[in-house]
A and B are shown apart, each in its own frame.
Chain A
Amino acid sequence: MVIQSQKKAAAKIAADHEGKQGQSLLSKALTPEFDWSDKDEFLDVIYWMRQIMGLLLGLVWGLIPLKGLLALALFLLVNVAIVYVYYNTFQKVDEETYGGTMEILKEGLMTSFSSFLVAWIILYSALHSESSSS
């Protein structure tokens, strides 16, 4: 009896997995507390989220415009904070399965940082520098 019920449960889990694999990465990312069976997939979500965020924040920083090293620090803070809130309160993943908090917070940070800088610098110098006509 016990073995049979165990088998049933296992079959149900397998069916669940198959259903989840059909979903797109975006819909998975937007599902709260999604059960991430593939670790790499979750890290990919974090990675791409960071890239988009870097670009968007760069555009916003350039439009406002924010200046100085403080703005750089603010970007890093916002970036890390959003990722932290996303995985801690929205997805509620156990960071230990990914090798600790730092591993998740580090994922794609440098690339996102350079995307941010490029967007910020280009927009800032196009819109707000005095010598932009030269």
Chain B
Amino acid sequence: MLSDCILIVVISVCTAFLGEGLTWLMVYRTDKYKKLKAEVEKQSKKLEKQRETETNDRVQKKKLERQEEKLKTNSRDLSLVKMKSMFAIGFAFTALLSMFNSIFDGRVVANLPFTPISFVQGISHRNLPGEDYTHCSFIFLYILCTMSIRQNIQKLLGLAPSRAASKQGTGFFTPPSQLGR
């Protein structure tokens, strides 16, 4: 059981590095991405500073709005650049995952020290026989490992999106109502 767990941790470390490596190849090293990222970061920091010193001046406000607009288009472009490679990697990983899934099919890889709440049980008890919900399937442990390892690797390598940029909330997936704030 322990060897299964360790194997899963190793698998998720490998896939995290593979994912980041592929994204680096396809996105991070391109000039377009670098330029856009630097631009977005600079603009978000600048905007944040300007927002702190609020003015009632109409000219200033107009200027602020124009900058916001520019930031929005830039960060949308950034997300678009990322999107393509995300799709490619997503497909590759789904294939990998189904392979591992068939290897670990029906195998209890760990015993959970708690009984998961009902809607998590679908994942944690996937493809496992019996009614003992403390049995943990491959997929549950893999997801948990990926959640912690991937983000930490991104952070260590300095590839995670900066706080200033993500705080502006102008990503591709932000609903328009929020954009209009």
B151 within 8 A of partner (CB): yes
Of B108, B152, B167, most buried by chain A (CB within 10 Å of CB) is B152
Q: How many A-B residue pairs have CB under 8 A?
A: 84
Q: For the complex, give the distance between the alpha carbons of A47 and B2 in Å.
A: 29
Most A CB atoms within 10 A — which of B108, B114, B136, B148? B148
Query: Which chain B residues lie closer than 8 Å to A125 at the CB level?
Result: 1-2, 5, 110-113, 136
Complex Cα spacing A67 to B110, Å: 14
Given contacts A40-B162, A111-B148, A125-B1, contact A67 B141 (CB under 8 A): no
Task: Sort chain B's interface into a size bin.
Answer: 20 to 34
Whether B113 lies near A68 (C-beta < 8 A) is: yes
With known contacts A40-B163, A111-B152, A118–B114 Cβ distance under 8 A: no
Q: Is A117 an interface residue (CB 8 A)?
A: yes
B-side binding surface: helix, strand, loop or mixed? helix
Contact B1 A132 (CB under 8 A): yes
Fill in one digit per residue for A111-134: 1 if any B CB lies within 8 Å of its CB, else 0.
110110110111011101101101
A-chain residues with CB within 8 Å of residue B89 when the two chains form the complex: none
Q: How far is the CB of B167 from chain A (nearest CB, A)?
A: 7
Measured CB to CB, the nearest residue on chain B to A126 is: B2
Please give, as numbers and ranges, the residues of chain A lying within 8 Å of B114 by CB-CB distance: 67-69, 71-72
Which of the segments A3-11, A29-37, A58-66 contacts the partner chain?
A58-66
The residue in chain A whose Cβ has the minimal distance to the Cβ of B6 is A122
Question: Chain B CB within 10 Å — which of A62, A67, A71, A129 has the most?
Answer: A129
B14 to chain A, nearest CB (A): 15
- Output the nearest chain A residue to B164 by Cβ-Cβ distance: A40
Q: How far is the CA of A14 from the CA of B108 in the complex (A)?
A: 59
Contact B155 A47 (CB under 8 A): yes
Q: Given the complex, which residues of A lie within 8 Å of B111, measured CB to CB?
A: 121, 124-125, 128-129, 131-132
User: Closest approach, in angstroms, between the C-beta of A93 and any C-beta of chain B?
Assistant: 15
Q: What residues of A have a CB within 8 angstroms of the CB of B112 in the complex?
A: 121, 124-125
21 contacts across the A-B interface (CB closer than 8 A): A54-B148, A67-B114, A68-B115, A71-B114, A99-B167, A111-B147, A111-B152, A118-B141, A118-B148, A120-B113, A121-B136, A122-B5, A122-B9, A124-B111, A124-B112, A125-B110, A125-B112, A125-B113, A125-B136, A128-B111, A132-B2
Instruction: Enumerate the 7 nearest inter-chain pairs by beta-carbon distance, A residue then B residue, closest first.
Output: A129-B111, A114-B147, A115-B148, A125-B110, A114-B148, A125-B111, A124-B113
